[in-house]
A = this chain, B = another copy of it.
Amino acid sequence: MINFMDLSIGVLSKQVGCKVPTIRYYEQIGLLSKPLRTNGNQRRYTQMHLQELAFIRHARELGFSIDSIKQLIAMNNDYEANSSGHLADEIAIRHLKKIEKKIEQLSLLRDEMKTMLVACAEGKSHNCQVMNILSDHQLCEHDHS
């Protein structure tokens, strides 16, 4: 039963800030529930869908993988799992650790890039130091990542 207040995919896209093809993609991979269709086969979304998609977008923007989001949604749909412990915050803690590790790695990279650019500025020579420093990495330890 489609309600005149239901949203076309374009309207939903604008309200949530998620591209139309991405919404279709989410439905295809089973992340977002399928909406009802008009007689012309167009999707019409309810406010429930809007909240569902907003949840997904928020989690994606926080860097959760689609798989983690599926788990979160499954937990939300399963009242028993919800009451059996804080599985959602375990997922979030795991994710926070990933973010913190990524920040650490990027900070090391930033420092290395800055060092390289400082050397490049001081070099002032004909051969650019960026190239030299990248080339100077041969046979070194491989623990950058």
Q: Which residues on A are within 8 Å of B, measured CB to CB? A: 15-17, 50-51, 54-55, 57-59, 61-63, 72, 75-76, 82-83, 86-89, 91-93, 95-96, 99-100, 102-103, 106-107, 109-110, 112-114, 116-117, 120-121, 126-131, 134-135, 137-139, 142, 144-145
Q: A103-B107, A137-B55 are in contact. Are A95 and B113 (CB under 8 A)?
A: yes
Q: A58-B134, A106-B103, A135-B55 are in contact. Are A113 and B88 (CB under 8 A)?
A: no
Interface contact B109-A106, CB-CB below 8 Å: no
Additional A-B contact list (12), CB under 8 Å, known A100-B110, A103-B106: A16-B138, A51-B138, A54-B135, A59-B134, A72-B134, A82-B126, A83-B126, A86-B130, A89-B117, A89-B128, A102-B106, A103-B107
Identical copies in the complex: 2
Q: Enumerate the 10 nearest inter-chain pairs by beta-carbon distance, A residue then B residue, closest first.
A: A17-B142, A58-B137, A54-B138, A61-B144, A88-B130, A96-B113, A88-B128, A89-B120, A92-B130, A103-B106
Q: Which B residues are CB-close (under 8 A) to A145? A: 61
Q: Which B residues are CB-close (under 8 A) to A82? A: 126-128, 131
Residue of B nearest to A87 (CB): B128
**Contact partner of A75 among B92, B131, B137, CB < 8 A?**
B131
Interface contact A96-B110, CB-CB below 8 Å: yes
